Structure 1
């Protein structure tokens, strides 16, 4: 009889089921991970509320999979099996996961821009992911971690990598000023890395009092509640000319407007938040002010740096974790809680049953 495991599966909007499925089989170039923790991402939340957005409704060109799918792309654990063609990983290795599929053949993959692969997808969206006891993924997604790195830290490396890549790509420099619209996990990690980068006058805008407190703890100079304060006006008072870089980390028209209105001439609006509709902006003002618009999707080539930062205690990624739950509670204590309780930032699911 084939072994089975519990998994949190997306069947449709507001329809996530914890059900038993077969333990996945390892292919020649794959590894099987016994998952320790998996986080709920903002993408997962969007899929729960009104998906599908990124979840495949047609077979994915690399994985061939469609829904129902086991969610989860923020995860870590221990390698328990390796495929016949995997030579650089061993059973027992503690690992974190960079969950981007890539073809390795397209124009962008050949240039090393694998996050722009024409067939890019994510474990947990384009194939079964980490919200289960075991996950099977291509070996190129796996990064070993030192024994001194906790699994809780490793589980939040994925959203931290999104933020680190955004800060690096934005070319934020020592002494620059920046505004961060949105203090969810990505916005908070951007705050952390902007502070580490040596940015000055880091301004964070978010309506949640708890998240504003967390932003201050992670390095924000000033925080504003946009429902009570004209944050753009305050930024202009502070900087006289506007910030050097404004990060949009929500995915709303209002926050994009705030970014573009708060950035200085020849400054950069940097979009990280995912919007599932069209956005508009004042093209004439953009031209006359020579402002730049840039963006990033996922990450590339930042995991080694991120792991080094954690190993050397330059950052503490666990500071964004607000709750750890079991897989049986994932709907009410995970998705529903994140939808309604803005005190929550990052919720982890303990797949090993040893956390809390």
Structure 2
């Protein structure tokens, strides 16, 4: 089978590998589509702390069961989404039901071989059945949608709130879509990419190109000088780390979604005097993943607008270069 393998800093290889052999309790999934994530870009850049050379990348993917061993309700031919989280079940977070922050958490496509291959070996417990209402390419975006759902759920967001999102990448836009569905009075989203902001606007989000307008002035104007109830930081740079404090209202909440490559400087004094709350979010719960599937199955979210490119697996280098160009791309998928 063909597989995209991480071979070192900015070095990927499309190689021929043997189809994985499955054990009892596992399924062999014929992968349909896999999406490139910001975490994949960290692996590609050689800065991810866990990914090792030889890894088959890809944690956003879906497919069809080709073979299965062990008792389960799944059958050969079932269309499935893959929850990539693997947890130990023994640590305190796991015992509390918070499997997504397991102290020994592993991710398919980061710690274990993933979905940028024609076939993937997946534990049965990580499979979720898909109805025929979900397209193959849509199914590859279930994982980032689950991240967005979890992020909004973890926040103090309430119906009628004004929300500001810093960063109009796939996660940022999905957070905006979920916040809007959940009853936000206004969703403001900023970026420097006109292309990404056009996509965000097509979902009814109020866009601000921060190269053309002062984001803070725009937020203050919309909120009559008060500031946003909740700010979601989804860009991961020093500029947005500064903006998140200025854009929020007194006693508001900042939710940090990004994994910062470089540690930002945070003005805690500004937060202290206004009683601001700073929260973080990681991954998603099983409930969030199931909700993401349901939203797509019921047609409540149109994923089509987020998919900018569908490329054959042979064009893997083009795909990773495209993701670097925010002026041209959003969610890039590989057809396996």
Q: TM-score range by the shorter chain?
A: over 0.9
**Distance in 2 separating the partners of 1:302 and 1:162:** 8
Mapped to 1, the partners of 2:115 and 2:299 lie a distance apart of 26
Partner of 1:60: none
Partner of 1:38: 34
> What residue is the counterpart of 1:196 in the other structure?
181
Q: CA deviation at 1:318?
A: 2.4
Is the Cα contact below 8 Å between 1:12 and 1:52 reproduced in 2?
no
Are 1:143 and 2:117 counterparts?
no
Residue range with higher mean Cα deviation, 88-97 or 203-212 = 88-97
Deviations 1:182-217 (A, max 9, x none): 001101111111111110121110001111111111
Distance 1:43 1:54 in 2: 11
Establish whether residue 29 from structure 1 lines up as the match of residue 25 from structure 2. Answer: yes
| Partners of 1:26 and 1:97 in 2: CA distance | 16
In structure 1, what is the equivalent of residue 303 of structure 2? 317
Aligned to 1:92: 77
Alignment of 1:231 with 2:226, yes or no, is no
* CA distance in structure 2 between the aligned counterparts of 1:228 and 1:159, rounded to whole angstroms: 29
Is 1:131 the counterpart of 2:116? The answer is yes
- Equivalent residue for 1:67? 53
- Is 1:302 equivalent to 2:297 in the alignment? no
**How many angstroms does 1:326 deviate by?**
0.5
Q: Taking structure 1 as reference, are residues 309 and 248 closer, same or farther at Cα in structure 2, changes over 3 Å only?
A: same
Q: Deviations over 1:113-146 (max 9, x none)?
A: 1111111121111011000000012222111111
Report the secondary structure of 1:22's partner residue. coil
Deviation at 1:101, TM superposition (A): 1.2
Q: How far apart are the structure 1 equivalents of 2:49 and 2:169?
A: 20
TM-score by length of 2: 0.96
SS in structure 2 at match of 1:274: coil
1:6 maps to 2
Tell me the SS of whatever aligns to 2:176: helix
Residue 51 of structure 1 aligns with which residue?
Answer: 46
Supply the distance in 2 between the matched residues of 1:242 and 1:54 (Cα, whole angstroms).
Answer: 36
TM superposition shift of 1:87: 1.8
Deviation at 1:43, TM superposition (A): 1.0
2:40 and 2:57 in contact (8 A); partners too: yes
Distance 1:290 1:263 in 2: 11
Residue 315 of structure 1 and its aligned partner are, at CA, apart by: 1.0
TM-score, normalised to structure 1, is 0.91
Q: Which residue of 1 aligns with 2:94?
A: 109
Residue 341 of structure 1: how far off its partner (Å): 4.9
Q: How do 1:126-275 residues align onto structure 2 when only pairs under 5 Å count? A: 126-220=111-205, 222-239=206-223, 240-275=225-260
Name the residue aligned to 1:80: 66
Q: How many Å apart are 1:55 and its aligned residue?
A: 3.5
The alignment yields a C-alpha RMSD, in angstroms, of 1.2
In structure 2, the CA distance between the partners of 1:54 and 1:153, relative to structure 1 (3 Å rule), is farther
Partners in 2 of 1:148 and 1:238 — Cα distance? 38
Structure 1 residue 247 displacement after superposition: 0.5
The alignment covers a number of residue pairs equal to: 334
Q: Deviation above 3 Å: which 4+ runs of structure 1?
A: none
Match of 2:315 among 329, 333, 347: 329
CA distance in 2, matches of 1:340, 1:317: 20
- Contact (CA 8 Å) 2:308, 2:331: kept in 1 or not? yes
Are 2:272 and 1:276 equivalent residues in the alignment?
no
